[in-house]
Structure 1
């Protein structure tokens, strides 16, 4: 198979078509450059926190210290204290409410906060003393929280590591409990009916000679363990907020029985064993996402996790407080530099833990945040899809007429076709023609690859 690679791709066309937020106003930039608000803080600069992120990251939301504590674990998780830099009612808060999330493109990002803040004063960069919100959690051998604290602190990260470095064996004392914790927590998530859906993501990356190509990337072992730290923290946050009857949860209803039945029906065609009585999460946990057939099954399984949203409440726990993917109530609190909701949920948790009233500016914002975050998430998904669609079209433009091995991962209504996942290259695109069945393996022919419309289409060969 010829390798996919393009020397030039104009991602600016996507910015022009989808629109980007205006530049930050001088008032917002001035607020971002101002010193953080004064708060009482405990001094945790002696704790050797480290950050673990994708290579090259500068907007560092989290710093970690996770060690064994007898038979259990001691977790300290420092989160950038973004609220200390964003004045309630100020220009910067208004502009972040309009943005919602950081948008990522291969040639640059459109940040939620000015970079002087997100990659500077608030980022948990190594060797820098920073304000943070620190979650301290004592856990038993089963990684069940025994004691949870959340408080403002001053911290200093001693190292910035990447996931590949940790996977290769770089493991300072601060991460000595990470691998065991990740394994225990991952197993617990599956046991309670959750789904750890490691769907390989299509990513556009720059080549060594400055061009672009498309890769399919699954989470690394370190990345999955680190994600379990974030999930645990989100569960602790949800418990605090539900107990107080005020907060902002990330929620997901259980999968519809017909969706589970459809997934079970496609398993045999993709060589996936589904033992009697096994849950979808248990089946997914057995798969190797680098196997093309397993990856196609995971694409179909992703339909079980559709419908996630935010639920705000100010007068008692909401009727829907569960996240079916996590297998427990859950909240977003660990990425405030990149995701707006985390700032407000964190402030609720701080108030609840200390017994203080929830700040009025938080209470005023909570009812509107679900809609704000839903709009921002849709926009981020539009950018992600447009980037991949454009890259696929550019890379395949000279290969119309060629045939590829593929699997059907989705079927459109009324027999009008569906979506296929190619084994190689890692393309996901529409396939014309009736009679497709989810999970089916087939040979497809490329009939269109047009960069100007970002349109790629196949038909059964």
Structure 2
């Protein structure tokens, strides 16, 4: 493998000092308390960003962070409030908002800080130990020459994606087809007990934020040594799924191998290719059309099994380095996106079948059968209908027991297709790789149970972080639109409290209606105010 273009460095450069409230030096006596409160008062009176803080000021800043992002159940919250409340300027705001404003004034936070990111400690870069380990693992992650050069394989993703962990290919086998779902082999390169493996379990997943990504593993691995790229061999787990001409799965084999990705394509490129009538010798387009045709049949079968196929429009929000904002509406009728989604679900379904049949401990995603009170069998026609159906769904849960996933319309399911960016997938891949190589899984049922509890809690924290960041940047967009009119659809009503879906960004917010409105009604509303602290948008009738 060629030398890595991406060095093992920190995931992003800190523009401001990083303070860890958990490592705050203890307040030994009243003199220490006096020193750090005086240091904070002087710094705030100076009304300019601080440079390198003194020890007393560092203590005060760390306690300000406790007040700004933690709740009153934090062990240092009461102490922080008792010592710092007299220093903070009084007003109508609560102590958390006052502490946040002080951190902004000191230059520790930006005015659009991700509080959830700070709360859960995900703003801290990789340690030197992890970076050194990752650099060594990246150097060792050399692959043999591709086992099969005849297999045409396609890595299909967004143009901006840098951590590519899946590809697909197809071949005929008599009257059936073999679909190869190729997943980057992270387990063979990153041992679970390595500093990098342990860090991945701590981080649980990559955070995709509008202005940056915070990876689960350092970039020299996630964006280079382990990422699937065209033109060079890559180690993969090959989920070889045999399908009938109607897209019915017959069986699966899981093989550890090395392949050379033939083409790296974007969704837009594939959508364009799928609209063309290819020549007989256009192998790429013919393969993609066959893959898409089978995926459509697989999707139809899931729909008949009760799968939730309908989705609201989604939006990609990107914050540029110059502070500008780009919001792109993602098509929900893209054949390329739907095709890749189907094969990733198929891989998870067949992997679950493979694991269950061999009694390999695994973390399954289960969603009990739900009760949908639907008057029409047709797909929902508006966002109000979509969200009303979503409210009736029971949440999926993680378990060591295989079971049906009602929302996907499959008999069992594991997450296995994103080991570069999801720790749960990494663990499942470790189980599979160990079984393939030694005949035994790496982790026992009890060991996997221990990991599962921590993963689920951290996964939910990561979701809150990404949700908060997404809302923050959309509000920055609306801050520039104050006074202008936006179009919104009513998706929920509780007396006069109305939930809205803004059609230009997908932003969901609440609004106090002065007149009666109905579900699905579309309104023209004027943006009157943006409050970044509460992540709220205030609207009035246009």
TM-score (norm 1): 0.80
The equivalent of 1:397 in structure 2 is: 479
- What's the offset of the Cα at 1:166? 0.3
Select the structure of larger CA radius of gyration. 2
Report how far residue 94 of structure 1 moved. Answer: 1.5
Pairing partner for 1:251 from 366, 371, 375: 366
Task: Indicate conservation of the 8 Å contact 2:122/2:203, yes or no.
Answer: no
In 2, distance between residues paired with 1:217 and 1:204?
10
What is aligned with 2:466? 384
Report the Cα offset of residue 190 of structure 1: 0.3
- CA drift of 1:299 comes to 3.4
2:202 counterpart of 1:87:
no
Is 1:25 aligned with 2:127? yes
Where do 5+ consecutive residues of structure 2 fail to align?
Answer: 1-109, 275-283
Contact 2:144 2:258 (C-alpha < 8 Å) held by counterparts: no
Q: 1:310 is matched with which residue: 398, 401, 415? A: 398
Query: Which residue number in structure 2 is paired with residue 454 of structure 1?
Result: 535
| Alpha-carbon offset, residue 194 of structure 1 | 1.0
- Work out the CA distance in 1 between the residues paired with 2:170 and 2:392: 32
More displaced 10-residue stretch of structure 1: 388-397 or 218-227: 388-397
Q: SS of the residue aligned with 1:406?
A: strand
1:37 is displaced (CA, Å) by 7.5
The aligned residue for residue 448 of structure 2 is: 366
Gaps of 5+ in 1: 1-8, 265-273, 288-292, 313-317
User: Which residue of structure 2 lines up, in the alignment, with residue 325 of structure 1?
Assistant: 407
CA separation of 1:400/1:383 partners in 2, compared to 1, >3 Å: closer, same or farther? same
Deviations 1:410-460 (CA, angstroms, capped at 9, x unpaired): 345xx3614201334543211124866544444545443223442113356
**What does residue range 100-249 of structure 1 map to in structure 2 within 5 Å?**
100-169=204-273, 171-172=284-285, 174-205=287-318, 211-219=324-332, 220-245=334-359, 246-249=361-364
Partners of 2:304 and 2:536 lie apart in 1 by: 41
From the superposition, tell whether residues 304 and 157 of structure 1 become closer, same or farther in structure 2 (CA, over 3 Å): farther
**Aligned 8 A contact 1:50 1:174 in 2:** no
Are the structure 2 counterparts of residues 254 and 92 from structure 1 closer, same or farther at C-alpha, using a change threshold of 3 Å?
same
Q: Which is richer in strand?
A: 1
3-state DSSP of counterpart to 1:43: coil
Task: Output the CA distance in 2 between the equivalents of 1:428 and 1:202.
Answer: 12
SS at match of 2:273: coil
C-alpha separation in 1, matches of 2:112 and 2:394: 28
Q: Deviations over 1:298-341 (max 9, x none)?
A: 333333445122212xxxxx2x6111111111111111001111
Q: Secondary structure at the match of 1:98?
A: helix
SS of match in other structure, 1:178: helix
Aligned length: 417
| TM-score (normalised: structure 2) | 0.69
Measure how far apart 1:231 and its partner are: 0.7
The structure-2 alpha-carbon separation of the partners of 1:24 and 1:392, relative to structure 1 and needing over 3 Å to count, comes to closer
Q: Measure the CA separation in 2 of the matches of 1:10 and 1:125.
A: 38
Change (3 A) 1:305 1:51: farther
After TM superposition, the structure 1 stretch with the greater mean CA deviation from structure 2, 363-372 or 151-160, is 363-372
**Does the 8 A contact of 1:247 with 1:345 survive in 2?**
yes
Aligned-partner Cα distance in 2 for 1:447–1:11: 19
Q: CA deviation at 1:380?
A: 2.8
Equivalence for 2:418: 335
Asked if structure 2 preserves the Cα contact closer than 8 Å seen for 1:41 and 1:154, the reply is yes
Who is 1:270 aligned against?
none
The question of whether the paired residues in 2 share the 8 Å contact of 1:67 and 1:176 is answered with: no
- Judged with a 3 Å threshold, the aligned counterparts in structure 2 of structure 1 residues 149 and 425 are, in CA distance, closer, same or farther, namely closer
Partners of 2:461 and 2:321 lie apart in 1 by 30
- Other structure's SS at 1:82 match: coil
Q: Which moved more, 1:369-378 or 1:151-160?
A: 369-378
